[in-house]
A = this chain, B = another copy of it.
Amino acid sequence: MDLAEAQGEVDVKTAFMPGLPGFAIKVSPGFFDNPKLDLPSVSGMMMVLSARTGRLEALHLDNGYLTDLRTAAAGAVAARHLARPDARVAGVLGAGVQARLQIQALAMVRPIERVLVWTREGAKADAYADEMTRRLGLDVIPVESAEKLVLESDVVVSATPSRTPLVVADWLQPGLHVTAMGADAPGKNELHTGVLERADLLVCDSRAQCARLGELHHALEQGIDVAVTELGEITSGARPGRTGPDQITVCDLTGTGVQDTAIALLAYDKAKAAGLGTTIEN
């Protein structure tokens, strides 16, 4: 729902997965005048409902934290199936929360030694490099262009709110994997459509949703026909991920309700085990 007069929007997501004890309903408000009030733009919460009775079991007042984590985790899942096992250089476009978390998650599944970072405003890349060098104990290096970053990386993560493509097909070298996770609305766009055409394997978290909100949207809009594999088809073993060191792979992530249900249940289990939270009789 758009709330134009408050520069706001609210998204609600849910997913029921047969066999799990609960399911999440997530409410994500984004109000873009909030920084003027010294408040973050994004807030939000996740409800955990019993899959057997529908009753509320828990409410995570997480202000988007669990969404940040599951989004980064999805990037790492994509990299585990699509990036070369020996990927050592990661490039990240953007310097926001996801640019941080995606690289942190990626470093858990691939032997990353160096991180290259590029942003439109160079100062943000410098600050990112300082902070992430300390946090990860890796070389994190600002580079002067997106082109240089893509040419020198084994894995590229684009994590920007860009509305014009940042990566073009000419820069793609054999063996590269690219995950684009910034686009979550029809107007957002990080990869030139040529990148999708050039990919030997193009993966979406949800084909239907990427066709509406993701990089895939722009290809379809231009009448470009590309073969798409869903990430779940790969994680379940139904279809292969990367099958050789020279393949170029691209993954378009828009975020799904299934991921919210998964992390909300995990957080609930961990909180219960640790005795955290406030209990309210209802």
Copies of this chain in its oligomeric complex: 2
Closest Cβ of chain B to A58, distance in Å, is 12
A27 within 8 A of B: yes
Identify the closest chain B residue to A59 (Cβ).
Answer: B59
Closest Cβ of chain B to A37, distance in Å, is 7
A138 within 8 A of B: no
User: Chain B interface: which of A7-15, A67-75, A161-169?
Assistant: A7-15
Chain B positions within 8 Å of A54 at CB level? 3, 6, 8, 10, 29-31, 34, 43-44
Chain B positions within 8 Å of A56 at CB level? 43, 45, 61
Q: Which of B14, B43, B49, B280 contacts A53 (CB 8 A)?
A: B43
A137 within 8 A of B: no
A209 within 8 A of B: no
The total of chain A residues at the interface (CB under 8 A) is 36
Chain A, 1-24, contact with B by CB distance < 8 Å: what is the 0/1 string? 101011010101010101000010
A282 within 8 A of B: yes
Q: Is the CB of B3 within 8 A of A16?
A: yes
Q: Which of A53, A63, A280 has the most CB atoms of chain B within a 10 A radius of its CB?
A: A53
Chain B positions within 8 Å of A39 at CB level? 53, 55
Q: Compute how far the CA of A49 lies from the CA of B12 in the bound complex, rounded to whole angstroms.
A: 13
Asked, given contacts A29-B49, A43-B55, A59-B59, whether A18 binds B34 with beta carbons under 8 Å apart, the answer is no
Identify the closest chain B residue to A16 (Cβ).
Answer: B3
Q: Compute how far the CA of A55 lies from the CA of B27 in the bound complex, rounded to whole angstroms.
A: 10
Q: Is the CB of B53 within 8 A of A37?
A: yes
Q: Compute how far the CA of A37 lies from the CA of B52 in the bound complex, rounded to whole angstroms.
A: 10
Chain B positions within 8 Å of A30 at CB level? 54
Chain B positions within 8 Å of A280 at CB level? 61, 278
Closest Cβ of chain B to A27, distance in Å, is 6
Q: Is the CB of A14 within 8 A of B25?
A: no
Q: Compute how far the CA of A31 lies from the CA of B55 in the bound complex, rounded to whole angstroms.
A: 9
10 contacts between A and B (CB under 8 A): A1-B14, A1-B16, A6-B53, A8-B54, A12-B14, A27-B49, A29-B55, A30-B54, A43-B55, A45-B56
